Amino acid sequence: MMNTIKAIKQIDRITGPVLLKLFPKAFKADLKAGPLKKILVIRPGGMGDALLLLPILKEIASSFHVTIDILCEPRNKSVFKSVIFINRIFSYRDLKSMLSVFQKKYDAVFDTEQSHFLSAIITRLLRADIKIGFKTNGREKMYSKSINYTHQCYEAKMFWKLFSSLYLVNNNFHFNFPYFKQHDHYQNPNFKRKQAVCLFPGATIDERLWPEERWAKVIDWLADHGWHSVLLGSKKEKGQCKKIISMCKTNKIINMCSRLSILQTSWFFKRASLLITTDSGMLHLGVLSGLPTISLFGSGIKAKWAPTGKQHITIYKNLECSPCTKFGTTPPCPNNYRCMVQITPEEVIAVAHAHLS
């Protein structure tokens, strides 16, 4: 999967600017031509961006009765399948699906990609009078309207600004729970009547990982204070979770790594007291499930990806070399992941203790 993603990004980096030059600047459309009742939203990328797009999509779907289709990737498709306010889902990787999108006529197309070129080119070729996206890397020439983008704004708010340029929504970003379909028929017998804290130790890149022995120390502290730990992750984190468990003194651990869908994970979140996680899509899933979080940030931009509010605490060292990730690209770390290694178990335990007590 990661090799495929890297290959696509490389193709985009090489061919995107060349293809961009072949197109003349898009005509500015009449943004007051009438109600925008049928739209296509393009969302490449992973689970995190897709999750942070949900608040504004729910807002316009409920307030303006908009029919929303999504063009996405296989790796974030499950996010959109887990909500009720999306009409149809199309995939980049499915030729039949792509042909179907090009045959349709939309009132508007929203390209929510932040920097890559190919989504902007696809947007330009689709049948819609209004095409809107972010003003980055010269991509604005492909849209009838473009919005300034900044790394110093929470990403969910950035998406909110993109859509509010055409829809008269409340200018103040807000969450409107719930976001996900109910999954009441799912039950986990190991979870009944237990005080639980969820933990996600994984990350898409090594630069965002926290050492396994430190997760084990946090889990042992939780157990000593009457809490069960629910370990979460995908197949990628199975080995990591097994290693963490082997380092723990306690057996008060429910290992749900690679066993849960998004809706089943949200089921756990609705019954847990806290999520401790890295900078990851799991963090955003916890936030959108209404669960208090402690997030460990290193290479990622805190202002862009960390949730705000009293129930969300971010531990971040603010070193001279971090954040170093920009537009989804993280350079190799010459400092042995110092931004993550300097976060101690004692710091995490202190924040968890303050919240849980």
Break the chain into its structural domains and give their ranges. 23-164, 194-356
Least confident of 2-16, 82-96, 111-125, 308-322: 2-16
Tell me the average pLDDT across 223-233.
Answer: 97
pTM: 0.94
What is the band of 1 on the pLDDT scale with cuts at 50, 70, 90? Answer: low
Tell me the average pLDDT across 297-320.
Answer: 95
Q: Fold identical between 23-164 and 194-356?
A: yes
% of the chain at pLDDT higher than 70:
98
Give per-residue pLDDT as tens, 266-297. 999 999 999 999 999 999 999 999 999 999 99
Length of the chain: 357
Q: What is the rounded (10 degree) CA torsion for 97, 101, 102, 107?
A: 180
Q: Are 246 and 327 in contact (CB under 8 A)?
A: no
Tell me the average pLDDT across 45-65.
Answer: 97
Residue 243 has pLDDT above 90, yes or no: yes
> Tokens standing for 34?
């009438």
Q: Does 323 sit behind a cis peptide bond, omega within 30 degrees of 0 on the bond before it?
A: yes
Strands (E), the chain: 38-43, 67-72, 88-91, 105-111, 127-135, 145-148, 196-200, 228-231, 253-255, 274-278, 293-297, 312-316
Residue 2 is predicted with a pLDDT of: 63
Strand order in the sheet with 127-135: 88-91, 67-72, 38-43, 105-111, 127-135, 145-148
Least confident of 95-104, 181-190, 241-250, 303-312: 181-190
- According to DSSP, the β-strands at 274-278 and 312-316 are unpaired
Residue 330 is predicted with a pLDDT of: 87
Tell me the average pLDDT across 133-159.
Answer: 97
What is the band of 33 on the pLDDT scale with cuts at 50, 70, 90? Answer: low
In angstroms, what CA-CA distances link 201 with 86, 191, 245, 252, 357? 30, 20, 12, 17, 23
Burial zone of 194 (CB within 10 Å; 0-12 exposed, 13-18 middle, 19+ buried): middle
Computed over every residue of the chain, the mean pLDDT equals 94
Give per-residue pLDDT as tens, 181-222. 987 678 887 776 679 999 999 999 999 999 999 999 999 999
Q: Which CATH superfamily is domain 194-356 in?
A: Glycogen Phosphorylase B; (3.40.50.2000)
Residue 10 has pLDDT above 70, yes or no: yes
Residue 32 has pLDDT above 80, yes or no: no
CATH architecture of the domain with residue range 23-164: 3-Layer(aba) Sandwich (3.40)
Residue 193 is predicted with a pLDDT of: 64
Q: Are 230 and 256 in contact (CB under 8 A)?
A: yes
Tell me the average pLDDT across 328-353.
Answer: 93
Residue 4 has pLDDT above 90, yes or no: no
Residue 327 is predicted with a pLDDT of: 84
Beta bridge partners of 134: 147
d(CA 33, CA 24): 23
DSSP state for residue 329 in the 8-state scheme: B
Residue 299 has pLDDT above 90, yes or no: yes
